[in-house]
Structure 1
Amino acid sequence: MASIGITAGMKIGMLASRSGLPVKTLRYYEDLGLLPAIGRSEGGYRLFAEESLRRLEFIRRLKTLGLSLEEIQGCLAVHDAGDLPCGDIEIQLGRQIERIDGQIKELRQLRTELKELLAGWQSDPAKDDEVICPNLHV
């Protein structure tokens, strides 16, 4: 006979419905250790605690801030060990800002290159069988 805590759990389909995430995503998160099941029903279905909804919101929020699942997993490991992961999250968010700054720099360089390319663009270049588009200089 299953214990009261396990019978009180929700099946993955219910968790998917309540969280708005696909069952496939929840299984993936479980496989990665991001979303632990609290047990299995008598029929063998995974069961999840109500707390799983808060955990999924936490994962979703950190993903929207650009953190990887691996980075999120590290923050959850700190939480699961009984500590607040705020310091770890602060470090990860600082790293994310650095990544964004790098992307902005790369995008500015690309924008400059595109503007230079378009500044010399010929709308009707001479046909050259050696190149696909003479304007691209490749």
Structure 2
Amino acid sequence: MSIQRMRPMTVGELSRRTGVRVKTLREYTDLGLIYTLGRSPANYRLFTTDALWYVHQIGELRGLGLTVAEIRELATTWLDGADQASGARLAELLHRSRERLERRIAGQQQTLRRIEEFEAVHRADLAVGDFCFSDGPRGGVDA
């Protein structure tokens, strides 16, 4: 075992090594997603290098669209010793994430269509660079 592996890290060092904000790492610790060795004499949270792996895995799952609550649920399933159940649960959570993403994409596509329609209707006004909403008040609120 290397000396580096045995030397605990503070939350600040873990943050520097992972690129994850200290506040986020504290949240992960409070939620039980990463574990500390305890605290230093100066009351800093101390982590083993294993925390680097956990933070990386959390980042991977977040990058796949899972929420922190979902990751916590998955970690609880895994810690309860249900390895096969955790795989099935991850599949369910990935499906849920895909559905959320598809809804967001559909919403963004709708906004894109609205922009295209607006541009088509107001193409001449937009071309001269002097567009205003002529049917409403200019520079104030109707009294």
Check whether TM > 0.5: yes
Tell me the residue number matched to 2:37.
38
Q: Which sits farther off after the overlay, 97-106 or 61-70?
A: 97-106
Q: Does 1:109 align with 2:110?
A: yes
User: What does 1:32-71 align with in structure 2 at a 5 Å threshold?
Assistant: 32-71=31-70
Quick one: structure 1 residues 125 and 19, their matched pair in 2 at CA, closer, same or farther if it must change by over 3 Å? closer
Mapped to 2, the partners of 1:131 and 1:55 lie a distance apart of: 56
| Runs of 4+ deviating beyond 6 Å | none
Tell me the residue number matched to 2:87.
86
Q: Give the superposition deviation at 1:105.
A: 2.0
Tell me the residue number matched to 2:12.
13
The two structures, once aligned, show a CA RMSD in angstroms of 2.6
Tell me the residue number matched to 1:136.
none
Matched to 1:116, the amino acid is E
Alpha-carbon displacement from aligned partner over 1:62-104 (angstroms, at most 9, x marks no partner): 1111111111111111222233332221111101111122122
TM-score (norm 2): 0.73
Name the SS for the 2:46 alignment partner. strand
Q: Give the superposition deviation at 1:126.
A: 8.2
Q: Give the superposition deviation at 1:50.
A: 2.2
Q: Give the superposition deviation at 1:51.
A: 1.6
User: Percent identity of the aligned residues?
Assistant: 32
Mapped to 2, the partners of 1:78 and 1:127 lie a distance apart of: 56
Number of residues of Structure 1 aligned to a counterpart in Structure 2: 127
Unaligned runs of 5+ in 1: 1-6, 134-138
Unaligned runs of 5+ in 2: 1-5
